[in-house]
Amino acid sequence: MTRVLVIEDNPDLAYGLRNNLEIEGYEVDVVGDGAKGLARARDADVELVILDLMLPGMDGFRVLRALRDEGRRVPVLILTARGEESDKVRGLRLGADDYVTKPFGVLELLARVEALLRRATRDPAAPEPDVERFGEVEVVSASRTVMRAGQPVALTPKEYELLVALLRRRGAVASRVELLTEVWGYNSAVMSRTVDTHIAELRRKLEEDLAAPQHILTVRKAGYRLQP
């Protein structure tokens, strides 16, 4: 049975999350503060973490940073109460795989949990070329590393997968819905801001001029494409 760890200090919300996840067949642990949550998240049997950002003692940002600094790749879905863009971006930069803004719909959260678990456990697709290049950027598939002008670039797992999804299209346009389906495993157009936020992060890390990107391009009313 898949084990999900919920790190949430609001007892009513934690109860609701546990109840709905258990109905879907998950085994659920609930922890109410950041330090204990981090200790529990280090256990190998935890397959996904649902992480509130506003926690007593040790906030969710610090929990997430500690997990990623230790090299732990367990999927993390963050919960943010205010829905501020800065909270979402900070969480994604620290290595979160996805986020949900409170208040959220149960069906949406369950869909995101299922998608993250599917992405984490599915078999790799067809072999990719060892090295892909565009501009000063090199993408090494064997090690999932990205270099820019010879220097390593730290991408989150979802940023890397989004970059690879664009590379695979060889310059063709990918719509937001196509990218949501391929990278996150769901296809609701309502959640297309997830793609936009990750695209903005890729540009920040890989483009020389954010005001005039040369490679990761927006195609108006269509989506995005990667220009070699």
Which residues are within 8 A (CB) of 104 and not within 5 positions of it... i.e. 6 or more apart?
79
Would you say domain 131-226 falls under CATH 1.10.10.10?
yes
The strand pair at 145-148 and 137-140 is best described as: antiparallel
Instruction: Find the length of the chain.
Output: 228
Q: Where are the beta strands (DSSP E) in 27-158?
A: 27-31, 48-52, 76-80, 98-101, 131-134, 137-140, 145-148, 151-153
At 66 the pLDDT is 94
CA distance 119 to 152: 24
CA distance 59 to 17: 19
Label residue 183 exposed, middle or buried (CB < 10 Å: 0-12, 13-18, 19+).
buried
For the record, the structure tokens of 215 come out as 């490679």
What's the per-residue H, E or C state across 40-77? HHCCCCCCEEEEECCCCCCCHHHHHHHHHHCCCCCCEE
Find out whether 78 and 99 touch, Cβ atoms under 8 Å: yes
Blockwise average pLDDT, block size 10, the chain, 228 residues: 93 94 94 94 91 91 92 88 74 85 84 82 52 86 83 87 88 84 66 82 92 92 88
At 178 the pLDDT is 81
A 10 A CB-CB count for 95 gives 20
Homologous superfamily of the 3-121 domain (CATH): Response regulator (3.40.50.2300)
Supply the pTM of this predicted model. 0.61
- Please give the backbone phi and psi of residue 227, each rounded to the nearest 5 degrees, phi first: -95, 115
CA distance 91 to 158: 12
**What is the residue extent of each domain of the chain?**
3-121, 131-226
The strand pair at 48-52 and 27-31 is best described as: unpaired
